[in-house]
Structure 1
């Protein structure tokens, strides 16, 4: 059996990583999606801890994502893992020809030691931070429309998000772009999810169909 191909999608919050990741999942026969947001613990940090992390040079290996690298490695070996985002179980999808695909929806790209070394193809969604912020704000509004009873809670969350944005979040997102974008295999700007899917598929399809070579995971090396 060919080892699964790890296709990672990175970009700033609001860039459309999750939307694109699930569109890619459909394109590649129900490929499992591992979502960074289902593992990360940094959003539990108080603002002063985030500020101290920035002051230390913002080491990405200090960001806690317990279990993510381990679950990705297990999927690469063909083992099932819990779906921590949507519930149920994730398994590498079988494909008629070529290697199965695993989608990694991540903020850290190859800058995270545990998962970065397992990525075969990294896509960076190159969205300007002001547009990403506008999309993030719209997500709060959409949440309030879908669940009017939660509007007060969402307004509080929005206020907290904007209160941290200029001092903590914007500098973090700028660092993310500076460190992760250069290591991307493919950079995509403006476009619809369908256009992005087509561009990614065109880029990796020859690799997926190529003859694999054995690896320590018992499958193939890209």
Structure 2
């Protein structure tokens, strides 16, 4: 069976789990590829994330039309791979049929939290960091755990998020290149 071109690879992880970093690394390893980053978009979605988490974290509550439009545009180009930094993998009903291979980077929550604080609060105050930690404890952690229960088991490949980024990218690249 011949693989369709372009192959669309979704890379999922919890916030701070390495999606963006690994998507960039994989792009450098796969020929004729393009990467789309979830955080480059301003999606319409739940206004109260804690309430959304409490209601089950349904990915379909997010309007991903701009992302879908961009994926469809890239499909028309002569690319071999489209790598999507995308937290929902196959779970969003409007994007699931577009994705050919979903990867979940399984990063321990303490590492993901440390990365988030380091990334998001380089020039932040202690009060801002404490507020973010309060939000994490109030609901964010439940959202992360839900992701581990939903996105992780619905992925084609689960990679240990404690490995060095070059190893994670190599594992993903080899799996992708082995798909016939």
Distance 1:57 1:8 in 2: 22
List aligned pairs for 1:138-177, cutoff 5 A. Answer: 138-141=118-121, 143-144=122-123, 151=124, 157-177=128-148
Range with greater deviation from structure 2 (197-206 or 170-179)? 197-206
Kindly report which structure 2 residues correspond to 1:53-68, keeping only aligned pairs within 5 A, or say none: 53-68=52-67
Residue of structure 1 equivalent to 2:153: 182
Inter-partner Cα distance in structure 1 for 2:139 and 2:43: 16
For the Cα contact (< 8 Å) 2:46–2:52, is it kept in 1?
no
> Are the counterparts in 1 of residues 8 and 98 from structure 2 also a CA contact under 8 Å?
yes
CA contact (8 A) 1:40 1:66 kept: no
Aligned length: 176
Residues in 1 aligned to 2:95 and 2:154: alpha-carbon distance in whole angstroms: 14
Alignment of 1:1-222 (within 5 A): 3-29=5-31, 31-41=33-43, 45=47, 49-78=48-77, 93=79, 100-141=80-121, 143-144=122-123, 151=124, 157-189=128-160, 190-207=162-179, 210=180
Indicate the structure (1 or 2) with the bigger Cα radius of gyration. Answer: 1
Unaligned runs of 5+ in 1: 79-91, 94-99, 145-150, 211-222
Paired with 1:206 and 1:133, the residues of 2 have a C-alpha distance of 33
Deviation at 1:156, TM superposition (A): 5.8
Output the CA distance in 1 between the equivalents of 2:155 and 2:175: 13
Per-residue CA distance 1:10-68 (angstroms, 9 max, x = gap): 001111111111111111136211111122436882xxx22332343332200233411
Any conservation in 1 of the 2:26–2:170 contact (CA below 8 Å)?
A: no
Pairwise CA RMSD: 2.2
**TM-score normalised to structure 1 length:** 0.71
